[in-house]
Amino acid sequence: MIAAAAGALAAQSGMAQSGVDTNPQPLKPPAEGKIRVAFPISEGAVVIDWAGPWEVFQDANLPTGGNAFEMYTVAETRHSIKASGGLQIIPDYTFADAPEPKVIVIPAQKGNDAMIEWIKKTFPSTDLIMSVCTGAFLLAKTGLLAGKAATTHHASYGPFQMAHRDIKVKRGYRFVEVGSNLATSGGLSSGIDFALRVVERYFGRELAEGVAFSMEYQGEGWKDSTGAANQVYAKPRVGANQLACPVCGMVMSAQAPLKSVYKGATYHFCSDGCKQQFDAMPADFIA
């Protein structure tokens, strides 16, 4: 059953004109042993970004018995790290002594040069590297996304595009797969969807559905191979007497005092930083 489902994935494989791989090749589990999943972390690592996928992988139990994945955290040192909300984490390994992973999950966080170098060094031997939320900024710094498509948290579409002009930002996508070994997912809970997608690519739809059921997770976005199952975040959600910052998408009062005029139209901003970015290259944000 698992092999048949994986074969169906392979038969549908193809790259869409949008630059999104609508159905990359299935991932091949090892002949023996578990699939190692590394979670590189640093100060401010957003809890749901890594804990959501962690839960998915830990619940992926094979029909033959036992769990399919082995998860661990890795950081520059083993010193305690304060994640979002003040959660204290002691990393399992350092970048110098971590086991070789087959999957890397990059959550939103502060990050550092040591992490970037470790990801670049480890990439050739992995099956897949995925980012969650603004972890896409860290993945982009490795150069691995250059010239490709990607997504990130909806409030960061503008800043991400400005920081990485060679990357095509897919707004509103739950996740974006490019090739067989790179993927970016949207904000926060999107990481759960893509982790389920990873389980599906290794072991087929039936096992992934079993994981979602055991978690009581009712989201269906992971089943859409285009990643575009839910376009609710493609445009800012703006209510009456509100405006969206043209740079970051943050919703604010229509009376927001920071504004600029470009080609006869008035644009309002949530911060001085966003206004400065807009004033430097207004045509890019309007486009």
Tell me the sheet residues that pair with 265. Answer: 262
pLDDT of residue 7: 41
pLDDT at 12 over 50: no
**Do 195 and 282 belong together in one domain?**
no
- Report yes or no: 167 and 237 within 8 Å, Cβ to Cβ: no
For residue 112, what pLDDT band results from cuts at 50, 70 and 90? very high
pLDDT in tens, 255-285: 999 999 999 999 999 999 889 989 998 987 8
Shared-domain flag, residues 43 and 182 = yes
1 has pLDDT over 90: no
Number of domains present in the structure of the chain: 2
Tens digits of residue pLDDT in 190-205: 999 999 999 999 999 9
Q: How far apart are CA 65 and CA 54, in angstroms?
A: 19
Q: Which tens digit of pLDDT belongs to each residue from 42-67?
A: 999 999 999 999 999 999 999 998 99
Same domain, 159 and 218: yes
Report the SS3 class of residue 16. Answer: coil
Among 249, 255, 253, residue whose Cα is nearest residue 274: 249
Domain encompassing residue 180: 2-223
User: Is there a domain that residue 237 lies in?
Assistant: no
Mean pLDDT estimate for the chain: 91
Q: Where are the alpha helices (DSSP H) in the chain?
A: 2-11, 47-58, 113-122, 135-141, 157-163, 190-203, 205-214, 272-280, 282-286
Specify the pLDDT at position 211.
98
Q: In CATH, what number is assigned to the domain containing residue 35?
A: 3.40.50.880
Mean pLDDT of 96-106: 98
- Work out the average pLDDT over 13-20: 57
